[in-house]
Amino acid sequence: MKIGFIINDLDSMNLEKDTSIYLMKEAHARGNQVYAFDSKDVTHKKTALYADCKEIDFPNSSELNFIIKSTISIEVKSFDFVINRLNPPFNKEYLYLTQMLEISGVDCINPAKALRENNEKLIILNFPAIIPLTVVTNSLEQIEEIFEESKIEKIVIKPLDGMGGKSIFTINKGDKNLSVIWETVSQNGKKHFIVQEYVEEARLGDHRLVFINYELLPKKVIRIPSDKDFRGNLAAGAVSKIEPITAQDEEIAKQIIPYLKENEIYFAGVDLLGGWLSEINITSPTCLQEIHKNSDLNPAKIFWDSLDSSR
């Protein structure tokens, strides 16, 4: 089979952690031809979408090191599977790509329509019973109201288009930095952002649940913030450990899985803080290598076994 991965940049991958290259290697080991291309590599012509694709080879089957064998133009619809793993931010180029994929009849994992219609921060608003106090606004006054009208003493502010913990702030009640943080995140009220009650259990770790083929993996990743940072992101210096999922995790999963099925979201990473839902990552979910290296679970095998059985 021919498999195409839509990714950002092969040169900047961290081979020790990257999920895309991990999935590519498993696909290649199964005898598939593996290709990679970026949004800038696509052209729509003659009623079809084409991409300048790099063919990826893994010379040593036991390592993630790869080489680029060749570059060739391929009609995207001719791939047996297209794995869509572009990183946020979801900008206009990303939007145009999802539209061209859909117009050209290209089925992706995850689907272009699902990525376009489900912002990773806003998607949690579909589950009001299991999220902390959450407000989406571009207003400084709305933030001030949260402190004035509730007993909340600490909040978190996130941009709607970020990833890896970038530009996330914590603010305590009475913090004199509030105005300048608002100016920075909202660009003086021009951009909306998300405000959430700070969950104290976040100090103990950000729990990543992984869903493949609408099923919750039996292991999860707990990302524990460093002493120098509050963020439970590996990119921000957090350390990880692997634990079995809990009964509470399974109950939360039961609420989320119908939504994943409805939107055909085959692969998702769900983040929990103290049992509260904080994000659902669907553009380029991560943490598969951490699970594989520190447990008896092989998520890449589960990923491709499920796809192979669907054909």
**In the structure encoding, which two tokens stand for residue 73, read together?**
């133009």
Domains and CATH numbers, the chain: 2-110 (3.40.50.20), 133-198 (3.30.1490.20), 202-310 (3.30.470.20)
What pLDDT, in 10s, does the model give residues 11-33? Answer: 888 999 999 999 999 999 999 99
Rounded to 10°, the helix 140-149/178-186 angle is: 140
* Long-range pairs of 201-205 with CB within 8 A, sequence gap ≥ 24: 201/273, 201/274, 201/275, 202/230, 202/232, 202/273, 202/274, 203/230, 204/274, 205/232, 205/238, 205/241
Q: Please tell me the predicted confidence (pLDDT) of residue 229.
A: 64
pLDDT, averaged across the chain: 93
What pLDDT, in 10s, does the model give residues 202-253? Answer: 888 999 999 999 999 999 999 988 776 665 566 656 788 999 999 999 999 9
Q: Please tell me the predicted confidence (pLDDT) of residue 37.
A: 97
What pLDDT, in 10s, does the model give residues 45-55? Answer: 999 999 999 99
pLDDT over 60 at 277, yes or no: yes
Q: Please tell me the predicted confidence (pLDDT) of residue 15.
A: 93
pLDDT over 80 at 105, yes or no: yes
φ/ψ region of 82 (left if φ > 0, alpha if ψ in -120 to 50, else beta) reads: beta
Q: Please tell me the predicted confidence (pLDDT) of residue 231.
A: 59
Q: Please tell me the predicted confidence (pLDDT) of residue 162.
A: 72
What pLDDT, in 10s, does the model give residues 157-213? Answer: 999 987 666 678 999 999 999 999 999 999 999 999 999 999 999 888 999 999 999
Q: In this structure, are residues 282 and 114 in contact, taking their beta carbons and an 8 Å threshold?
A: yes
Q: Please tell me the predicted confidence (pLDDT) of residue 235.
A: 62
Q: In this structure, are residues 194 and 168 in contact, taking their beta carbons and an 8 Å threshold?
A: no
Q: Please tell me the predicted confidence (pLDDT) of residue 9.
A: 84
What pLDDT, in 10s, does the model give residues 114-156? Answer: 999 999 999 999 999 999 999 999 999 999 999 998 889 999 9
Enumerate the H helices of 168-311 as residue ranges.
178-186, 247-262, 288-293, 299-310
